Structure 1
Amino acid sequence: MSGNATSDNGTRPSGTRAFSPFEWMVALRYLRARRREGFISVIAGFSFLGIMLGVATLIIVMAVMNGFRQELFNKMLGLNGHVVVHSLDPNFGNYDAIAANVRSVHGVKYALPLIEGQVMVSTPASSTGALVRGLREADLKQLKAISGNIRFGTLDGFDNKEGIAVGTRLANDLNVKLGDQVTLLTPRGASTALGTAPRVKRYPIVAIFEIGMSEYDSSIMFMPLAEAQRYFSKPDSITVLEVVLDSPDEVSALGPKIIEAGGSSVYISDWRQRNATFFTALQVERNVMFLILTLIVLVAALNIISGLIMLVKDKGHDIAILRTMGATRAAVMRIFFITGASIGIVGTLAGLALGVLVCLNIERIREFIGWITDTELFSPELYYLSQLPAEMDTGETASVVIMALVLSILATLYPSWRASRLDPVEALRYE
C-alpha cells in the first residue's frame, strides 16, 4: 500500500496537488459514456443541453427585446420630437421667434414648427383616416427617419409643389402611386354664417416613404407648412413646436431651459410622458421574461446535481479504492467538482456561441422559418416593425453567462462533498 494511505494512527495523507493532471484524468473519464453508466451519461447530456439552450434562449430573447425596444424608440422619436412645446394661447403665432430661442439652448439639435390635423383620405378605390403633419421642406429633411427612407419621388422643392408625402402602406391601402391624386377632407374648414364648413381638396402624391413601422407608414402624411396653414385655416399659426435634442436622456436637464427660452406663454411635454405606459410595459415584460427563462438554466443545474449524485452512488467502489490508495477527501471532491463543472462550463460556452450566432442571423432565420411554415412570423401590423431586430448588450450577455456559470458550479458542490465523505471501509465491505 502507498505511503500516502491513511494509517491506523490517523496520519493524514499528503495527496496530490489541487487540480493535478491525475484529478482531471479521472474526472474526464467519468464523463465518457459506458454501457454500465448509460443512464448517467444521458442525464449528463440533458444537463449539458439544458444549460446550452437555457443560456442561448436567454441571450436571444433579451437581445430581441432590446432590439425591439430600441427600434421602436428610434422610430417613434425619429418621427416625433423629444420635447413638444405647446402654447397657452390657442393661436401659436410667434413660433419662429420662439423656435430661434429654443434652438439657441445648448443640447437642442433643432426645433420644428408643425401643424397636425386629422383628415379623411379618399380615392376612387378606397378611403381611410390619416394624420397630416405640416412641415417646411428644410425641417422635414432634418427628420432622417423620413428623408432617409424615401422610396419613390423626392422632397426637393417640397414647399412649392403643394403636394403630399405618404407612407408605403397608406399608398397601398389607397391603391395609389407617385403622381396620383388623393382627396383630403377635414371638418376644420372655412367659417360661414351657418358654422364651420368641411374643407375638401385634392393633392398629388410627390413622395412615398417607408419608415419600417407599420403604424406610421399606414397613417401619416406630410404637407408643406404653408399649405397646411391654409388647409386647416391656421394662417400664421402652428399647432406645436417639436424639439429634437442631441440626447433623449437629457430631457430632465433641458426641459426648464427650453421653457425659459420659450417664454411664459409656453409649456412642454416630453417623450417620457407621451410614451410612459408603452415603454414601462416593455420594461416589465422584459424583466418577467428574464426571470422565467432563468428557470430553464436553474432546472438544468438541478439536473447536474441529480446526475452527479447518481454517479457518486455508482462510483462508490472506485472512490473507496482511490481513498485506499492515498487520495485525500479534497482530491475526491475536486474530481467530482471537475466532472460537474465541466458540464456547466462547456454548456454555458456552447449556449453563448449559439445565442450570438442566432442573434447575428435572426432576420434570415425568421425568413427561413416563415418560408418553411408558409406563415408570416412577427407580422408588421401586430409588432409594428417590418424586420425582427436583435441588439445584444455586452453587460447583459456577460451577466447571463456569469449567472449560468455560478449556478453550474454551485450545483456541483453538494454531490462532490457527498463523494468526499464516502467511507472506503463501508464501500468495500460488501465487495
Structure 2
Amino acid sequence: MSAANEPTGTRPFAAFEWMLAGRYLRARRRETFISIIAGFSFVGITLGVATLIIVMAVMNGFRGELISKILGINGHLLVQPIDGVLDDYDAVASRLEGVEGVRFAMPFVEGQGLVSGPAGAFGALVRGVTKRDLDHLPLVSGKLMAGSLDNFDQAGGIAIGSRMARSLGVVVGDTVTLVSPRGSVTPMGVTPRIKGYKVIAIFEIGMSEYDGTIAFLPFPEAQLYFNMEGQATAIDVFANDPDEVGEIKPAVEEGAGRPVFVTDWRQRNTTFFSALEVERNVMFLILTLIVLVAALNIVSGLTMLVKEKSHDIAILRTMGATRGAVLRVFMITGASIGTIGTFAGFLLGWVVCLNIESIRQFISWLTRTELFSPELYFLSRMPADMNAGETTSVVLMALALSFVATLYPAWRAARLDPVEALRYE
C-alpha cells in the first residue's frame, strides 16, 4: 500500500483503538505466556514504585526526625568566646535575643562526667541550664516520663534520659553519683570530684544517643561542680528558621558585642548529613533499576504480542486501519500496564508509609528480632515522611519509562507489511 493510497482513518485514540487494546490485554488460552509476562511487568512496576516511595519517605523521615531531635536540644548557632572566659553571658545573651531572626539565646555550662547507679556506671554529657531555658526545649520539658521540673533551679537535683535511667537502674527519687576528672587541686595533684544528685526528672527525647548520654543540672550547680563560677561554656542561639542561619550569622557575630566564634548546626553536623544525602541519592538510583527492569518486561511482552497478532494487524490494515491507529493500539496496551501498575504502586507505598511503625512492630514480633534498633539508628521509632515533590517525580518517572517502553514494539506493529503477513495464510 503506497503512501499516496494510505487511508486517512479515524481520529486519534478513537473508541475502536481502546477496544482493541482492551481485548489484547485480556489474553486467550493460547496467549497465556504473553499474559504472564504482562502480569510480571505490572507487578514489577507496582513493587518498584512502591519501594521507591517507601524508601524515600523513610529516609526523609529519618533525616527530618534527626534534624528535629538534634536542633531540639542543640542551638542552631553556637556562640563561643575567643578572647577569654564567657563571664558576661547574661549581657551577651540579651543582646543576641535582640537580633532579628533569633528566637532566644541560652547560656549553658557543659562538661563530661561518669554517672553511676546501682546497675552500673556510664559516661555522660552534663549540661547546666536554667529552668527558663529548659522550658524553651519542649523535647525535654514536654517529654517527661516521670518527675517534674517545677523546682529545677532550687531542687539541686539532676534530670536524666530514659535510657540512662534504665541503664543505671534508677527511678525518680533515687540518687546517682556524678564523677568528674576535673576536681579539686591538692598538693597531691588534681583529685576527681564526686557528688551525689537526686534524680528529679526522667525525660525521653526519642533519640537513643541523647536519652542515654545527656543529663541536665541547674545552671548554678553546674558552675560550682565544673569549677566555672561566674562563667558559661558557650551560648546556644535558636533561630526562627533553622534554614536561615547563614543569613543571620553575621548579625549574631556583630550583636554579641565581643569577639566570638560562631558555628551553625550544618557545620557541626556536615559529615553526618552529607553521608545521609549520598545514601539517599544512591538508593534512589538503585531502586530505579527495579522500575527499569519492569519497563523492559513491557517491551518483551509487547514484542511477543505483536508477533502473535501479526495476522490480525494485517487484516486491520487491509480493512483501512492506518499505521497510526495500529501504533496507538499497541501503545495503549503497553501504557495501560505501566499506568495501572504505577498508580497501584503509589497506593501501596502510601498505605505502607501511613502504617510503617505498625508494620515494623509486626515484623519484629514475627521474626523475634529487633528491627530498626535504636542503638544503630538513633531513633526509637521508624519515621516516614512522604514528600509531595519526590513522590510526584517517582510517579512521573515510572509513567515516562512505561510510555517509552511501548514505542519500539508499537512502531514494529505499525511497520508490519500486510502482504507479507498474509502471504502464507
Give the structure 1 partner of residue 220 of structure 2: 226
Match of 1:59 among 39, 53, 64: 53
Equivalent residue letter for 1:412: T
Give the distance between the partners of 2:286 and 2:8, measured in 1 at CA: 46
1:14 corresponds, among 2, 8, 16, to 8
Which of 274, 299, 306 is equivalent to 1:305?
299
- Alpha-carbon displacement from aligned partner over 1:282-336 (angstroms, at most 9, x marks no partner): 0000000000011111111111011000000000000001011111111100100
CA distance in structure 2 between the aligned counterparts of 1:354 and 1:425, rounded to whole angstroms: 47
- Partner of residue 206 from structure 1, selected from 200, 206, 215: 200
Give 1:86 shift. 0.3
Secondary structure, counterpart of 1:406 in structure 2: helix
Q: 2:260 aligns with which of 266, 273, 277?
A: 266
Partners of 1:236 and 1:400 lie apart in 2 by 56
2:329 is matched with which residue: 325, 328, 335? Answer: 335
In 2, the alpha carbon distance for the partners of 1:9 and 1:322 equals 17
Q: In structure 2, which of residues 71, 75, 99 is the aligned counterpart of residue 105 of structure 1?
A: 99
Show the counterpart of 1:416.
410
Match of 1:69 in 2: 63
Question: How far did residue 265 of structure 1 move?
Answer: 2.4
Question: 1:220 and 1:418 mapped to 2: Cα distance?
Answer: 67
Q: What are the Cα deviations for residues 169-206 of structure 1, in whole angstroms up to 9, with x where unaligned?
A: 00000000110001111012223333332111000000
**Residues 399-419 of structure 1: CA deviation (Å, up to 9, x unaligned):** 000010011001101100000
- Say yes or no: does 1:253 pair with 2:247: yes
Aligned mates of 1:88, 1:197 — CA distance in 2: 28
Say which SS state the counterpart of residue 126 (structure 2) adopts: strand
Q: Distance in 2 between matches of 1:12 and 1:280?
A: 59
Alignment of 1:146-225 (within 5 A): 146-225=140-219
Residue aligning to 2:420:
426
* Deviations 1:230-251 (CA, angstroms, capped at 9, x unpaired): 1111100011111111111111
Q: CA deviation at 1:15?
A: 1.4
Deviation string, structure 1 residues 139-188 (Cα, Å, up to 9, x no partner):
01111111110110111010000000000000000000110001111012
The one of 14, 22, 25 equivalent to 2:19 is 25
Q: What does residue 3 of structure 1 align with?
A: none
Gap change, CA 1:429 and 1:91, over 3 Å in 2: same
Match of 2:126 in 1: 132
In structure 1, the residue corresponding to 2:132 is in which secondary structure?
helix
CA distance in 2, matches of 1:197, 1:90: 25
Q: Is 1:239 aligned to 2:233, yes or no?
A: yes
Superposition deviation, residue 108 in structure 1: 0.5
Unaligned runs of 5+ in 2: none
Aligned-residue identity in percent: 63
Give the secondary-structure state (helix, strand or coil) at the position aligned to 2:340. helix
One-letter amino acid of the structure 1 residue matched with residue 88 of structure 2: N
- Contact 2:119 2:167 (8 Å CA) reproduced: no
| Mapping of residues 276-315 of structure 1, within 5 Å | 276-315=270-309
CA distance in 1, matches of 2:6, 2:260: 84
Q: Do structure 1's residue 406 and structure 2's residue 400 form an aligned pair?
A: yes
Give the deviation of 1:9 after TM superposition: 9.8
1:93 aligns to what SS in structure 2?
A: coil
Residues 90-142 of structure 1: CA distance to partner in whole angstroms, max 9, x if unpaired?
Answer: 42100000000000001101100101111111123311111101000110111
Q: TM-score, normalised by structure 2?
A: 0.98
Q: Which stretch has the larger CA shift, 364-373 or 414-423?
A: 364-373
- 1:39 is matched with which residue: 15, 22, 33? 33
3-state SS in 2 of match to 1:13: coil
Residue 388 of structure 1 pairs with residue 382 of structure 2: yes
Cα pair 2:118 2:170 within 8 Å, conserved: no
CA deviation vs aligned residue, 1:366-418 (integer Å, no higher than 9, x gap): 11111111111000111111110000100110000001001100110110000
> Distance in 2 between the 1:10 and 1:238 partners?
90
Three-state SS of the structure 2 residue aligned to 1:139 is helix
- TM-score, normalization by structure 1: 0.97
After superposition, the Cα gap between the structure-2 partners of 1:419 and 1:9, relative to the gap in structure 1 and judged at 3 Å, is closer
Cα shift readout 1:50-98 (whole Å, capped 9, x = no counterpart): 1111100000000000000000000011110010000114421000000
Partners of 2:93 and 2:252 in 1: CA distance: 10
Q: Which residue among 39, 43, 48 is the counterpart of 2:42?
A: 48
CA distance in 1, matches of 2:5, 2:410: 23
Tell me: CA distance 1:368–1:26, structure 2 relative to 1, closer, same or farther (3 Å).
Answer: same
